[in-house]
Amino acid sequence: MPAPRYRLPIKKDFWKSAVYLLVFVVVISVSAWFLIENYGLWGMVIWLVIFVGGGVLVLVRWHAGSTAYLCPHCGHEFEISALQDLVTPHKMDKYYLRCPSCRERIWMQVLVKEDSDEKR
């Protein structure tokens, strides 16, 4: 199996992420309305915690599996785990990570795995 190739994100990638987040928010909102009608306030809270937690885990796993990072210090490209993706400070297109090659802790550029688009 060849090593994955990476590229800089394009507008299509940002729109794809925005659509996934919008669907997530709509599902949670509709679920909240349905749950409060059928389970009351505390039942709704319990179910929403389960739905939101599960949804966040699905989104984080998707993001971790379809992205990589570029160290501006040494040019090394690398991937991170879903747990690291969840807890790492980040901005829209940069993550604050330690490079596994040069060990420098710096804001890394997000890259998109090209083979992740072909699988979907």
User: pLDDT tens for residues 48-94?
Assistant: 888 899 999 999 999 999 999 999 999 999 999 999 999 999 998 89
Residue 1 covered by a domain: no
- Rounded Cα distance between 58 and 20, Å, is 11
Q: How many independent structural domains does the chain possess?
A: 1
- Rounded Cα distance between 84 and 70, Å, is 16
Give the domain extent around 16.
6-115
pLDDT grade, residue 116 (50/70/90)?
very low
Measure Cα distances from 16 to 63, 81, 96, 114 in Å. Answer: 11, 21, 23, 14
- For 120, the 3-state DSSP assignment is coil
Residue 24 covered by a domain: yes
Residue 61 covered by a domain: yes
Average pLDDT of the residues in 21-41? 86
Q: For all residues of the chain together, what is the average pLDDT? A: 88
pLDDT grade, residue 115 (50/70/90)?
low
Residue type, 99: C
